[in-house]
Amino acid sequence: MPDPLAALRDRLAEVSDLQRAAAVLEWDQETYMPPGAAEARAHQVATLRRLAHERFTDEAVGAWLDRAEADTEADEALLRVTRRDYARATLLPSGWVAAFATAKGHAMEAWKKARETAPPGSRPGQAFAHFAPHLQRILDLSVEKAERTMPLLQDERGADYAPGDDARYDALLDEYEPGATTAQVAAVFADLRAELVPLVEAIAARPQLDDAVVHGPFPEDAQWAFGLEVAQAFGYDLRHGRQDRSAHPFTTTFATTDVRITTRLDPDFFPTAFYGTLHEAGHALYEQGVDPAYDRTPLADGTSLGMHESQSRLWENQVGRSRAFWRYWFADAQARFPEALANADAEAMYRAVNRVAPSLIRVEADELTYHLHVLLRFEIERALVAGDLAVADVPAAWNEKMAAYLGLTPPSDADGCLQDIHWSLGALGYFPTYTLGTLISAQLAEAAARDLGRLDALFERGAFRPLLDWLRAHVHRWGRAKSAAEILDAVTGGGLDAAPWLAYARAKYGALYGL
C-beta of 125 vs 276, nearer to Zn ion? 276
Q: Are 513 and 354 in contact (CB under 8 A)?
A: no
Closest separation in Å from C-beta 243 to Zn ion: 15
Q: Is the dihedral of CA 218, 222, 227, 230 positive or negative?
A: negative
Footprint on this chain of Zn ion (rule: CB under 5 A): 312
Query: Which of the residues 280, 316, 367, 446 is marked catalytic?
Result: 280
C-beta of 312 vs 412, nearer to Zn ion? 312
Closest separation in Å from C-beta 281 to Zn ion: 11
C-beta of 19 vs 312, nearer to Zn ion? 312
C-beta of 310 vs 354, nearer to Zn ion? 310
Closest separation in Å from C-beta 254 to Zn ion: 18
Residue 308 makes CB contacts below 8 A (sequence gap 6+) with 283, 286, 302, 433, 437
Comparing CA positions, the residue from 190, 261, 169 lying closest to residue 435 is: 190
C-beta of 351 vs 362, nearer to Zn ion? 362
**DSSP string over 126-148:** TTHHHHHHHHHHHHHHHHHHHHH
User: Beta partners for 259?
Assistant: 253
Closest separation in Å from C-beta 30 to Zn ion: 15
Report the distance separating Cα 84 and Cα 91, nearest Å.
11
Q: What pairing do the DSSP bridges indicate for beta strands 243-245 and 251-255?
A: unpaired
Report the distance separating Cα 64 and Cα 66, nearest Å.
5
Amino acid at residue number 120: P
User: Beta partners for 145?
Assistant: none
C-alpha distance from residue 331 to each of 103, 152, 326, 338, 461 (Å) = 51, 55, 9, 10, 13
C-beta of 303 vs 312, nearer to Zn ion? 312
Q: Dihedrals φ, ψ of 135, to 5°? A: -65, -35
280 in catalytic set:
yes
Report the distance separating Cα 312 and Cα 280, nearest Å.
6
C-beta of 297 vs 312, nearer to Zn ion? 312
Closest separation in Å from C-beta 177 to Zn ion: 14
C-beta of 82 vs 277, nearer to Zn ion? 277
> Which 3 state secondary structure label does DSSP give 219?
coil
**DSSP string over 266-303:** -TTBHHHHHHHHHHHHHHHHHHHTS-GGGTTSTTSS-S
C-beta of 82 vs 438, nearer to Zn ion? 438
Closest separation in Å from C-beta 354 to Zn ion: 19
Report the distance separating Cα 307 and Cα 436, nearest Å.
8
CA angle 79, 82, 84 (to 5 degrees): 110
> Which 3 state secondary structure label does DSSP give 16?
helix
Report the distance separating Cα 19 and Cα 10, nearest Å.
14
Nearest residue to Zn ion on Cβ basis: 312
Closest separation in Å from C-beta 69 to Zn ion: 38
Neighbours of 304 (CB within 10 A): 25
Comparing CA positions, the residue from 367, 369, 331 lying closest to residue 349 is: 331
Order of all β-strands in the sheet with 251-255: 243-245, 258-263, 251-255
Q: Are 261 and 249 in contact (CB under 8 A)?
A: yes
Closest separation in Å from C-beta 44 to Zn ion: 26
C-beta of 153 vs 290, nearer to Zn ion? 290
Closest separation in Å from C-beta 311 to Zn ion: 8
Q: Dihedrals φ, ψ of 503, to 5°? A: -65, -45
Closest separation in Å from C-beta 471 to Zn ion: 15
Q: Are 23 and 253 in contact (CB under 8 A)?
A: yes
For the annotated catalytic residues, the residue numbers are 280
